[in-house]
Amino acid sequence: MAHSITIDSFGPLPVERPATVADLCALVTRTRAAKQGLYPVGGRTTLDIGLPPSKPGVACDTTALAGVIDYPARDMTITVRAGTTVAAVQAELAKEGQWLPVDVPSPEKATLGGAVAVNASGPRRLGYGTLRDYVIGISFVTDDGVEVKAGGRVVKNVAGYDLMKLQIGALGTLGVVTQLTLKVKPKPEAAASVVFGCDSASLADVLDLIAASKTRPVAVELLNQPAWRVGEVTGGLRPPLASEQEWTILVGFEEKPAAVRWQVSTLLDELKSAPVRGAVELPDTAFCTALTALQLRPESRFVGKLSVLPSKLADAVLKRPPGALIHAHALSGVIWSHGETLPEGATVRRGVGGSKSPAGWELMRHVKKTLDPDNVFNPGRLFGEV
């Protein structure tokens, strides 16, 4: 275990690893009294998200705060400590034929608290939603060094302020999350995909066709040629796509076996009259894992995430410069761009210089000043100076 870390070239910061929530509360109290910053870290898979720290302090390793607290499988909820890895949560759920259908990069390292802090998601967000749809209870330590709770352990819970939504995607700037209750789903019995290619001139029409399909895919992913080449997107299988096709589209289905078979057959029929080439069936949805991992591609100097209206996605990806590596959650309107430059308005996932957060944070800045007036938690990381 490292005794210090560097965050975005800032540091080194000493690392403390509280063993209990009481230890964490004491650490927050000491840090605030010293007028320093507290930087929560978990699996350290997404430390390159956000701006550089703005003041000295300590890194708080949350991985000792791990483990399942309660798992009433019949209620389809689970309560776990925030330092638990996503893979460990999935392994526990799998014992009862259940899962959390949210794609998180490097799940064997990423902690659940960290995934909530960055609002991690991937291809399956189309069919299942994001973490905002699954967190029903949360506990976190405030700047007073006190653990507070919001939500509960049952799905039907409408009491009080929805502090859970504030913490999701807040990058740890509003407190240190200690515990989470999630609703979960039965794991699908079967999965399959359809993959095919198309050219730029036909891209918008093809995406419109998929959006109007009788089928209900859980993921529709769009890749340009550079993105298709860099990873084993189809688990080693190489469908006979024509080399001149500029775009590859993967459509995934997860359901009962009969429903999956019908949807694959229906989509293949719908594509027969479409301007596509090489449409074939794949036996799984492994591409979801591969494309989620692509978010962390270490060779990419700049990685940006851009959100647009799904109807405008084709226009947006076609404006990217040649050579950029593009993969997109096509019907969700989310574009991942890797290259030497980034689209205007993108949130920078990784980069050197420039802003890593978009404009328009005034409301969130006000929330930050209200809940953390001394700027203890992750100072500078999301909003810059507040």
The single-letter code of the amino acid at 108 is: E
CA distances from 372 to 141, 145, 178, 366, 376 (A): 11, 11, 17, 10, 7
Name the maximum alpha-carbon separation found in the chain.
68
Instruction: Give the per-residue pLDDT at 343.
Output: 63
Provide the pLDDT confidence category of residue 244 given band limits of 50, 70 and 90: low
Could you tell me which CATH number the domain at 190-348 has? 3.30.70.2190
| Edge-first strand listing for the sheet containing 325-329 | 277-282, 190-198, 247-255, 219-224, 325-329, 334-339, 302-307, 347-350
The percentage of residues in the chain with a pLDDT greater than 70, rounded to a whole number, is: 87
End-to-end CA distance of the chain: 32
Q: What is the pLDDT of residues 55-91, one digit of tens each?
A: 999 999 999 999 999 999 999 999 999 999 999 999 9
Question: Do 178 and 81 touch, CB atoms closer than 8 A?
Answer: yes
Those residues with Cβ within 8 angstroms of residue 170's Cβ, 6 or more apart along the chain or in another chain: 117, 364, 382
The single-letter code of the amino acid at 29 is: T
Tell me what the pLDDT averaged over the chain comes to: 89
* pLDDT at residue 44 greater than cutoff 50: yes
Q: What is the pLDDT of residues 135-174, one digit of tens each?
A: 999 999 999 999 999 887 665 555 555 778 889 999 999 9
63 by Cβ neighbours in 10 Å (0-12 / 13-18 / 19+) ranks as: buried
* pLDDT at residue 19 greater than cutoff 60: yes
Instruction: Give the per-residue pLDDT at 120.
Output: 95
Q: What are phi and psi of 248, to 5 degrees?
A: -115, 135
- Cα–Cα nearest to 101, from 185, 3, 227, 216: 185
The pTM score is: 0.91
Provide the pLDDT confidence category of residue 354 given band limits of 50, 70 and 90: very low
Instruction: Give the per-residue pLDDT at 163.
Output: 75
Q: How far is CA 216 from the centre of its chain?
A: 22
* pLDDT at residue 242 greater than cutoff 50: no
In angstroms, what is the C-alpha Rg of the chain?
Answer: 22
- Mean per-residue pLDDT for 355-375? 76
**Whose structure tokens read 């997860």?**
254
* Top-confidence residue, 204 or 343: 204
Instruction: Give the per-residue pLDDT at 127.
Output: 98
* pLDDT at residue 344 greater than cutoff 60: yes
* pLDDT at residue 237 greater than cutoff 60: no
Instruction: Give the per-residue pLDDT at 320.
Output: 84
Q: How far is CA 296 from the centre of its chain?
A: 11
* pLDDT at residue 213 greater than cutoff 60: yes
Question: Do 38 and 28 touch, CB atoms closer than 8 A?
Answer: yes
**Whose structure tokens read 């009788």?**
214
386 by Cβ neighbours in 10 Å (0-12 / 13-18 / 19+) ranks as: middle
Provide the pLDDT confidence category of residue 350 given band limits of 50, 70 and 90: low
Instruction: Give the per-residue pLDDT at 378.
Output: 95
- Mean per-residue pLDDT for 250-266? 98
Instruction: Give the per-residue pLDDT at 245.
Output: 73
Could you tell me which CATH number the domain at 68-187 has? 3.30.465.10
Instruction: Give the per-residue pLDDT at 49.
Output: 85
CA distance 122 to 225: 20
Classified as helix, coil or strand, 30 is: helix
Q: Which residue blocks in the chain are alpha helix, DSSP H?
A: 21-33, 86-94, 112-118, 125-128, 163-167, 203-211, 225-230, 257-271, 287-293, 313-318, 362-371
